[in-house]
Amino acid sequence: MRTLNDLPDLIGKRVILRCDLNVPLDGSLITDDGRIRASLPTIRYLIEQGSKVIIISHLGRPDGEVVEKYSLHPVAKRLSELLGQPVGFVNTTVGVEAESAVNQLNDGEVLVLENLRFNPGEASKDEGERETFAGQLAKLGDFLVSDGFGVVHRKQASVYELAKKLPSAAGILIDAELKVLKKLTENPEKPYLVVLGGSKVSDKLGVIDHLLPRVDALLIGGGMLFTFLAAQGSKVGSSLLEADQIETVKSYLSKANELGVEIYLPSDVLVAEKFAIDAKYETVPANQIESSSFGSNGIGLDIGPETARTFANLISNAKTVFWNGPMGVFEFPNFAGGTRAVAEALTQVSRLSVVGGGDSAAAVRQLGFADNQFGHISTGGGASLEFLEGKKLPGLEVLK
Ligand code: ADP
Ligand code: MG
């Protein structure tokens, strides 16, 4: 893979830097700036080289339309504070306005363009549309540095097609992420556990098939646990459920059995009356979710205390652990217990512990853990998982 050392002298050059600045927001307030901080080394490097730095990123899923709450403007402001220098912002991504803002840059100055995903071409399924958008982006720069590790598993215009149109290389963050993830794929010290949770159920179910032969055990929490419970014949009330994945999950359970890999599912669950911060809740056995006083309206929002203890025990006795996806709706304090227990146990892991995913990283910081209590906090959730599966990631392949 080409890295910064493979690029020629960048002084005075217009360098487009693809970052992943997809931070969690509460209104215009950034609740975790981890991904901005993780982008700083490459930004600083390019400033020191005397480049004109043009930063592009996505934020959220505006689906090809301008959605004000997904503007990168607050991100540009935060970046300026962290860098200690002014950062320009232009509220378009391509076209004359963006071009003229780029033309006004002096060497060592930084400009952030508006959210890539305000343009339908960025994440289009149509290769031609992506090509066209990448062509418009390419006009803004002489080089591309690709450093948005969180998106390298997606074949999107700024990640894939653009990297073919300009001389391109990976930045410092991608390089650092890969060094750690390689330790997980090449000879992880055993026992090696993978802990999965979060809300992107169908995305994450797919990785299980590939991970099973590589790990000693899988621990399942978060939104996907209900599809597993349903596969075992339990009713799950109004919890998150991917009914069309039940058969697939059954096949994972039997494959795990054949391979001798344990899949640990919760024994108890916190069931809430509704999806709300102040919702009433009860602890019930995982196979009797509808036994709570909320009946079939009950929603499972966290793993229960018994499960949290079991998971913590397994994790703290492992040598290598990768964790992606909160165990519950940690944004609501009453349902953060499972996530806290897992995070705490991860700090005890003897060899290597990795936390991956935007929300997972935000969760551990929000719960008061320090970054250095873990082996590594990855900016990529889906990207890390696909790398661990052994898949080829388009955003990295294109840099080879
Ligand atoms: P990451 O960004 O770390 O990859 P995801 O985006 O997949 O993680 O999922 C994070 C979200 O999952 C959090 O916002 C959390 O509230 C949600 N979540 C966790 N458990 C549940 C649950 N039982 N029901 C609904 N949402 C859940
Ligand atoms: Mg997420």
* pLDDT confidence band for 389 (50 / 70 / 90): confident
Residue 133 has pLDDT above 90, yes or no: yes
Residue 35 falls in the annotated catalytic set: yes
Residue 130 falls in the annotated catalytic set: no
Residue 390 has pLDDT above 90, yes or no: no
* pLDDT confidence band for 161 (50 / 70 / 90): very high
- Residue 308, pLDDT score: 98
CA of 354 to the centre of ligand 1 (A): 17
Average pLDDT over residues 171-187: 94
Q: Select which of 358, 375, 381, 395 is catalytic.
A: 358
* Ligand 1 neighbours (beta carbon < 6 A): 197-200, 222-223, 240, 300-301, 324-326, 328-329, 331, 357-360, 381
Q: Smallest Cα–Cα separation from 154: which of 326, 363, 381, 356?
A: 381
List pLDDT tens digits, range 371-383. 999 999 999 989 9
Average pLDDT over residues 19-45: 95
Residue 326 has pLDDT above 90, yes or no: yes
- Residue 200, pLDDT score: 80
- Residue 207, pLDDT score: 86
Residue 266 has pLDDT above 90, yes or no: yes
Residue 204 has pLDDT above 90, yes or no: no
Residue 382 falls in the annotated catalytic set: yes
Average pLDDT over residues 291-305: 98
Whether the CB-CB separation of 50 and 107 falls below 8 Å is answered with yes
* pLDDT confidence band for 210 (50 / 70 / 90): confident
Average per-residue pLDDT for the chain: 96
